[in-house]
Amino acid sequence: MITRKRLAAGACGTLLAALAAGLLPAAAAADDRLDTTEGAPTEAPKVELVLDVSGSMRARDIDGQSRMAAAKQAFNEVLDATPEEVRLGIRTLGADYAGSDKQLGCKDTRQLYPVGKLDRTEAKAAVATLAPTGFTPVGPALLGAAKDLEGGDTTRRIVLITDGEDTCGPLDPCVVAREIAAKGTSLVIDTLGLVPNAKIRQQLTCIAEATGGTYTAVQHKDQLSQRVKQLVERAADPVVTPVATKGGTSCTGAPKLGAGLYTDREQFGEHRWYQVSVKPGQELRASVSVGADRAVDNDYGVLVRASTLSGREIVRGQESGDGRTDVISSGLRYPKADIETERGQEPPAETVCLRVSSSFSAPPSVKTAPGLPVELSIDLVDSPSNASDVASFGLGHGWWLLGVMALVGLLAGLITGWVSRWRVAVWRTN
């Protein structure tokens, strides 16, 4: 983990100028931009802890303590261990309304501590006042937390701690998580369940998987604090953040992508197109993963195909499955042979069209919108010294290898038979 301990020189200059001009909002914004190892300012990662404070948190089944007491203790430990560069906030659900009106109870979510530079004393004092109260509006709380984390271009993470499933339907929190992911804000939701219940586990797993997060079942207070610490620290780790993109309906007009990691949403049975520019001497390596973040029918597949602008297929990769799986992936490699040009001339690049297709279908009761999450990885590396030979042998003429293997097998059989006959003849002679 890279720890950022000081403001960038440029940010400091901006802060001084803002103070001189009386621009306090600008100064506050500068304070949230931290220095990297290269000295360039980058925005601080944001995390919001979402805590269930519903009436069921009174239950005393976590190391002899109530679930609420264990959660408070874990929060105090997490607040002490939160890295300086993390901007942390706290949101509650079910903490204020103690009545029986479901309509009011399902609006019971609020931001307890705003996302920003952490004042540990103030945050602990806010948590200490909480008492188990009302309903479990998980969906509205996730929507509120996503809004709390809006703005800027940085890592965002929601950590949801709850002991029960949402009690405020028909707003399905799993659908809410998919809609958050479909916005392409690179926001990850991790879930922690305090009760080992199959129905609760299914809902919390669905919420996490929809955004690329994780689900963890917790039954002890030390497990709770340790896991939340890990998730908060993970937000500060330098990771590759996928870039949201939207594939075209044909290669013409499709987005032009370079090396990197991209996310998209693809409707059931849809084709999405992307363009990649490959220079001579480079090898294009592309892989695609489609996540089944909801119930799907058996028999499905994913295809990634590379073709020229004229539609001629260059190479393809495909994978299929039969039965429930969370992610199905496929990939391809296309080496572009190097060409000689006159000195000083740049060799022309080739536009390769990537088509991503899936054959998923869903039962009638399952919502198909938004589409399934797609992760596309593209890499451009120096191709082998004789790319054309590698491509033809490895992809176009695999029967050569089979012929060689058959010939070796035949020769081995003949030699073995001749040796056996010679041994029998010697035995009879003796």
- CATH classification at residue 349: 2.60.120.380
Mean of all residue pLDDT scores within the chain: 82
Q: With 70 as the cut, is the pLDDT of residue 41 above it?
A: no
Q: Are 188 and 225 found together in one domain?
A: yes
Q: Are 258 and 326 found together in one domain?
A: yes
Domain finish residue from 185, 215, 236: 236
Q: Are 313 and 365 found together in one domain?
A: yes
Q: Are 114 and 222 found together in one domain?
A: yes
Q: With 80 as the cut, is the pLDDT of residue 104 above it?
A: yes
Question: Is 276 inside any structural domain?
Answer: yes
Q: Are 232 and 247 found together in one domain?
A: no
Question: Is 7 inside any structural domain?
Answer: no
Q: How far is CA 348 from CA 257, 269, 283, 308, 339, in A?
A: 17, 35, 15, 14, 9
Give residue-wise pLDDT tens across range 45-78: 999 999 999 999 999 999 999 999 999 999 999 9
Q: Are 283 and 217 found together in one domain?
A: no
pLDDT of residue 191: 93
| Domain CATH code at residue 150 | 3.40.50.410
Q: Are 222 and 77 found together in one domain?
A: yes
Question: Is 414 inside any structural domain?
Answer: no
Number of domains in the chain: 2
Q: Which residues contact 86 (CB under 8 A, 6 or more apart)?
A: 44, 45, 46, 47, 118, 232, 235, 236
Give which of 282, 361, 351 is closest to 321, Cα–Cα.
Answer: 361
pLDDT of residue 241: 66
Domain finish residue from 236, 263, 278: 236
Which residues are paired to 257 by β-bridges? Answer: 276
Q: Looking at residue 341, what DSSP letter applies?
A: -
Give residue-wise pLDDT tens across range 261-314: 998 999 888 899 999 999 998 899 999 988 887 888 888 889 999 999 999 999
User: Bigger pLDDT: 327 or 39?
Assistant: 327
User: Bigger pLDDT: 172 or 400?
Assistant: 172
Q: Are 84 and 229 found together in one domain?
A: yes
C-alpha–C-alpha distance, residues 297 and 358, integer Å: 13
Q: Are 218 and 283 found together in one domain?
A: no
User: Bigger pLDDT: 209 or 342?
Assistant: 209
Q: Are 273 and 221 found together in one domain?
A: no
Question: Is 379 inside any structural domain?
Answer: yes
Q: Are 207 and 273 found together in one domain?
A: no
Burial bucket for residue 128 (CB in 10 Å: 0-12, 13-18, 19+): exposed
Domain finish residue from 201, 236, 271: 236
Q: What is the CA radius of gyration of the chain?
A: 29
Which residues are paired to 379 by β-bridges? Answer: 285
Q: With 60 as the cut, is the pLDDT of residue 35 above it?
A: no
C-alpha–C-alpha distance, residues 17 and 31, integer Å: 13
| pTM for the model | 0.60
Question: Is 60 inside any structural domain?
Answer: yes
Question: Is 16 inside any structural domain?
Answer: no
Q: Are 186 and 299 found together in one domain?
A: no
Q: Interior CA angle at 324 toward 365 and 245, to 5°?
A: 80
Question: Is 26 inside any structural domain?
Answer: no
Question: Is 27 inside any structural domain?
Answer: no
What is the domain range of residue 330? 243-383
C-alpha–C-alpha distance, residues 55 and 98, integer Å: 9
